[in-house]
Chains A and B, each alone.
Chain A
Amino acid sequence: MFMNDIYMIFLGLLILIIGILVGVAYLTLLERKVLGYIQIRKGPNKVGFMGILQPFSDAIKLFTKEQTYPNFSNYLSYYFSPILSFILSLMIWLLIPYYFNMISFNLGILFFLCCTSLGVYTVMVAGWSSNSNYALLGGLRAVAQTISYEVSLALILMSSIIMIMDFNLMMFFVYQNYVWFIILMFPLSLCWMSSSLAETNRTPFDFAEGESELVSGFNIEYSSGGFALIFLAEYSSILFMSLLFILMYMGGFSLSIIFYLKLVFIFFLFIWVRGTLPRYRYDKLMYLAWKSYLPISLNFLLFFLGFKILLL
């Protein structure tokens, strides 16, 4: 490989990371604005022009706040688990199917599953090591929830892989040329949507940080930098989940502005759900994962296998 190619790849990586960080910053602004208008009030509208600079002032505030050293905490794991979660969410973003200047993963979906499964450990370690009852309970809940939704997530992913018979994320675009998979695999795509809501600990299933029960859940002891990293990791994984929804069900990756508009729309859907639905009950959440999504995804896996065999 020529040196120039390597330079271009690193430049692409740098642009990707800066894009993720700025994108996450503005998604927080979008979320606050949309939640504000859902609750019939204005969101942040003072900093800069109509609140344009709000995310940057938030970031500066977060990074200059005081860092705490909780008593009896396991400080090394307390310090490193936000960093690890941020590393993992950036690593997942390497999967974005650029046509050029980035790595092309032939087994991209396996890479995605590996990174998302590792995300559980950071939450667990962050909850356990900060030596607080609330954090421990939030971490336990988050682990059980993420684990049980990961099974149905992987099975739903499996049935859409069976449709394309490849692990490469680029192939989704080829197969969805005429009809989107959201229509072809209709109830299953909505199952994927709510499973990804649960996988990223979003609001109808946000038991990891239930504000009214556990004050802030697993990240309660975190202040400035650690909290900022956890926050960035969560939002970039939400953004990646909406990217994956578009890749798998809404037409795949294409070099057009429509792709990014669809991405923002799916993220808006995440916020909309947060603004509308109340929190679920924990045992119902578990029943939803094990007694409804798992049998549905298994049965549909069988169905799509037969469907594909008919087509092959």
Chain B
Amino acid sequence: MILLTNIFIIIMLISNIMMFLSIILSKKSFMDREKCSPFECGFDPKSSARIPFSLHFFLITVIFLIFDVEIALIFPIIPLYKLVNFIFWTKISFFFILILLIGLYHEWNQNMLNWTN
């Protein structure tokens, strides 16, 4: 664990040094107002860039959250098969995946997965 932490520290140092090196090495020719303004096809930006976004992205995130929690719950069945009764293990994993499948089909049936309505 200490070794892994040391390796992470080395990796962080390397990538920070690369960014810092590029800032030092980079040639700053002249300061210009246009260079600092956000890119928008040659004119000044008319609206703020922190615009509200479509609700679909948020809904996708909510569905993703459910499925990701379920995946995190599936993963323990791998080390578990050595520890618990095999019949119980089989039944539990089958029922769990079946519930996942039925949940997915239910969401599909309720038009949750449609991108546009």
Contacts and interface: CB of A to CB of B under 8 A. Distances in A.
Interface string B53-76: 110110011011001100100110
Given A71-B38, A220-B39, A103 B4 contact: yes
A309 B7 CA distance: 39
Contacts of B93: 305
Interface string B3-24: 1101110111011101101110
Interface in B86-111: 86, 90, 93-94, 97-98, 100-101, 104-105, 108
Interface residues of B, number: 63
Contact of A90 (B15, B63, B86, B104): B15
Contacts of B19: 79, 82-83, 225-226, 229
A197 interface: no
Nearest to A60: B25
Contacts of A283: 115-116
Summarize B's interface: helix, strand, loop or mixed.
helix
Interface of B: 3-4, 6-8, 10-12, 14-16, 18-19, 21-23, 25-29, 35-41, 45, 47, 49-51, 53-54, 56-57, 60-61, 63-64, 67-68, 71, 74-75, 78-79, 81, 86, 90, 93-94, 97-98, 100-101, 104-105, 108, 113, 115-116
Interface of A: 1, 6, 9-10, 13, 17, 62-73, 79, 82-83, 86-87, 90-91, 94, 103, 110, 117, 128, 130-136, 140, 143-144, 147-148, 150-151, 154-155, 158, 161-162, 165-167, 215, 220-221, 224-226, 228-229, 282-283, 286-287, 290-291, 294-295, 298-299, 301-302, 305-306, 309, 312
